[in-house]
Amino acid sequence: MPNGTWILGDLLTKDYGHAGSIQKLWEQRWKFPCTKGVYPFHDGKFEDFEPIFQHLIANNINDPYDDAYTNTFLPTARRLAKEAESLESSNKKAATKLYLNANAVYRLARFPYIGTPLKKEVFEEQKSTYLRGSKLWDRPIEDISIAHNDAANGDGECIPLYIRTPAGAGPFPTILLITGLDGHRPDNTERTTEFLARGWACVICDIPGTTVDCLANRKDPVAPDRLFSSIFDFIKQRADLDEKKVVAWGLSAGGYYAIRLAHTHRECLKGSVGHGAGVHHFIGREWLENVGRHEYPFGLERAYVQKYGYDSFDELKEKCQDEFSLVSGKGDGVAVVGMGMPSCRLLLVNGVLDGCMPIEDSMILAEYGSPKEMRFVQDRFHMGYPEANGIVYPWLKEVMGS
């Protein structure tokens, strides 16, 4: 921070204690959420995960990028998927649940970043299993790849999307759900089901530099402008999606992109949500030097280096803020916030004690451009759960109906 102080205070440099220790992570942070089926265990079962983590602990496997870590999850994921397949014709409800259980285990196998050859294989296996299970739903996932008509500067030619729509002809109000660093297209069943219950369709996209099939140029700070231009063109062409009622919702690292397109593509949106979002400080040197100690389950250093395409964490600390900050980025058209560009309606939601994306990154938006709407949850960490969804959904309803 310019004045050397952070809202986190002493928590900025506090070591949360689980870095490098699967045992501490499981016993201090993850065991209880696993019993409740919440992040990152949604749709998983404690009885499936507990022996996996006991094996990791007993064998001193602490590096999530070690193939030994990933391989520990795979027998359980594959067993669940096989059991689900065997029940498809005789017990559709049980098969559906087992496919979701398998999906949860696959997610942890490829967690926290798809940064090894094995994790890439697991992600493909996860998608295949998830989509097979979704065919049993009343409203399944549509898995498509659209042409990236605005591709340039090393972008891939296609954009993978998941689409889920309510019953009927439409056109339906549409949520453009933008995923994060470790949560991707197959990890959003709960949200898409909530959208359907409200009569909304959903288009889900991954962000540059994360999944193996989002081929927007991770090194180009304005690549997302081209990516979303192609996605909005596609939405306009779909008769079942209402191009006049589109709201973006960016999750965690995806919040950065929701904020960016709220400015660059404001005419395409009724509103946008930056949920747990980074804007500027999150890629500054001081924050990055401390982020590995905070509440994120594993260090963010390796994931960030690969996501942004740098050669080392030292290079990222030196260059990333200058190249990607929406406030002070030096490239042409990068600093859409700092330039005072107007935005569509923009909601910022987060926990005040977020140790992944500093709350200052949401607050700084109030200093520029159009007025913003903000709701920060005291004494909560990254994303502001469990209160956050109770803030976002009413706002979405109001915006969609206006």
In a domain, 230, yes or no: yes
Beta carbons of 281 and 361 less than 8 angstroms apart: yes
For residue 2, what pLDDT is reported?
Answer: 47
Structure tokens, 193: 């089901």
**One domain for residues 79 and 180:** no
- pLDDT mean across residues, the chain: 96
Q: Which helix (H) or strand (E) holds 401?
A: helix 388-401
In a domain, 13, yes or no: no
Beta carbons of 330 and 246 less than 8 angstroms apart: no
**One domain for residues 276 and 379:** yes
pLDDT digits (tens, 9 = 90+) for 86-124: 999 999 999 999 999 999 999 999 999 999 999 999 999
**One domain for residues 185 and 209:** yes
In a domain, 227, yes or no: yes
Selecting among 134, 252, 272, 362, the annotated active-site residue is 252
For residue 1, what pLDDT is reported?
Answer: 52
Give me the DSSP letters along 221-266.
TTHHHHHHHHHHHHHHH-TTEEEEEEEEEEETHHHHHHHHHHHHTG
pLDDT band at 402 (very low <50, low <70, confident <90, very high): low
Nearest to 110 by CA among 69, 143, 81, 59: 69
Report strand pairing: 158-164 vs 201-205: antiparallel
**One domain for residues 132 and 142:** no
Residue that terminates a domain, selected from 99, 122, 137 = 137
| Range(s) of the domain holding residue 24 | 18-137
**One domain for residues 122 and 219:** no
**Mean per-residue pLDDT, 22-49:** 94
Beta carbons of 39 and 33 less than 8 angstroms apart: yes
pLDDT digits (tens, 9 = 90+) for 282-310: 999 999 999 999 999 998 999 999 999 99
Q: Is 354 a catalytic residue?
A: yes
Cα 111 from chain centre? 12
Handedness of CA 63, 302, 100, 127 (dihedral sign): negative
Beta carbons of 353 and 154 less than 8 angstroms apart: no
**One domain for residues 188 and 245:** yes
Selecting among 48, 220, 354, 361, the annotated active-site residue is 354
Q: Is 252 a catalytic residue?
A: yes
Residue 3 has pLDDT above 80, yes or no: no
CA dist., res. 360 & res. 92, Å (int) = 47
pTM comes to 0.96
In a domain, 1, yes or no: no
**One domain for residues 132 and 238:** no
Q: Is 18 a catalytic residue?
A: no
CA dist., res. 304 & res. 310, Å (int) = 8
CA dist., res. 321 & res. 298, Å (int) = 22
**One domain for residues 86 and 158:** no
CA dist., res. 158 & res. 142, Å (int) = 16
What is the tally of structural domains in the chain?
2
**One domain for residues 188 and 261:** yes
CATH code of 198's domain: 3.40.50.1820
**One domain for residues 304 and 401:** yes
